[in-house]
Amino acid sequence: QQSELNSFLWTIKRDPPSYFFGTIHVPYTRVWDFIPENSKKAFQQSHIVYFELDLTDPYTMSALTSCQLLPQGENLQDVLPRDIYHRLKRHLEYVKLMMPSWMTPDQRGKGLYADYLFNAIAGNWERKRPVWVMLMVNSLTEVDIKSRGVPVLDLYLAQEAERLRKQTGAVEKVEEQCHPLNGLNFSQV
């Protein structure tokens, strides 16, 4: 029963009440039907909504892209062991070849092309830090490709908040997410 699901919603008892809701970075359509009504109701009744990051802000998106890059003049080929680099390159060639067959008719109907989608996800991969390449590779699956074009839950909620004219903000800066990931050494990645 929907009413019995764990809502990942915590209430901070004050007047008016505040809520804390745990999200996940997946297309919202994968989880929306499993989010209990109390969480949806809390969102609808709220006037101010804060997110982890402001995914609707162009600066945030630009800063996220920049933080993923290796220092100027370095390439992934310089930092990865040769065999891993070549396996990665072959895998990305395979993904690029398969991507047209992974796309849905709906995606094609919206004007998404496999080459464009591949470049949007994997473009400039040879300049990215290993941890970001690992996250990118993990998202280059048939299931994930089929859901491209559907916003992740955080972005969907941010777009809804804007549509409903709620005041929005972010609790973290890009650097607070980027620096810990960029601080992982190669063996940790």
The structural domains of the chain, with segments of one domain joined by +, span: 9-183
| Residue 170 banded pLDDT, cuts 50, 70, 90 | very high
* pLDDT tens readout for residues 72-87: 999 999 999 999 999 9
Mean per-residue pLDDT for 99-120?
90
**How large a percentage of the chain has pLDDT more than 70?**
96
What DSSP letter does each residue of 71-89 carry, written as one string? STT--HHHHS-HHHHHHHH
Strand segments (E) across the chain: 9-12, 18-21, 48-51, 167-170
Tell me what pLDDT residue 1 has: 57
Mean per-residue pLDDT for 124-139?
94
DSSP type of residue 128: B
Map residue 184 onto helix, strand or coil.
coil
Tell me what pLDDT residue 5 has: 59
> pTM for this one?
0.79
Lowest mean pLDDT segment, chosen from 35-39, 138-142, 185-189:
185-189
Residue 12, amino acid? I
Q: Kindly report the CA angle at 47 between 34 and 171, in degrees rounded to 5?
A: 75
In the chain, helix, strand, coil percent, each to 5?
55, 10, 35
152 alpha carbon, distance to own chain's centre: 6
From CA 134, how far away is CA 153, in angstroms rounded?
Answer: 21
Evaluate whether 172 touches 55 at the Cβ level (below 8 Å). no
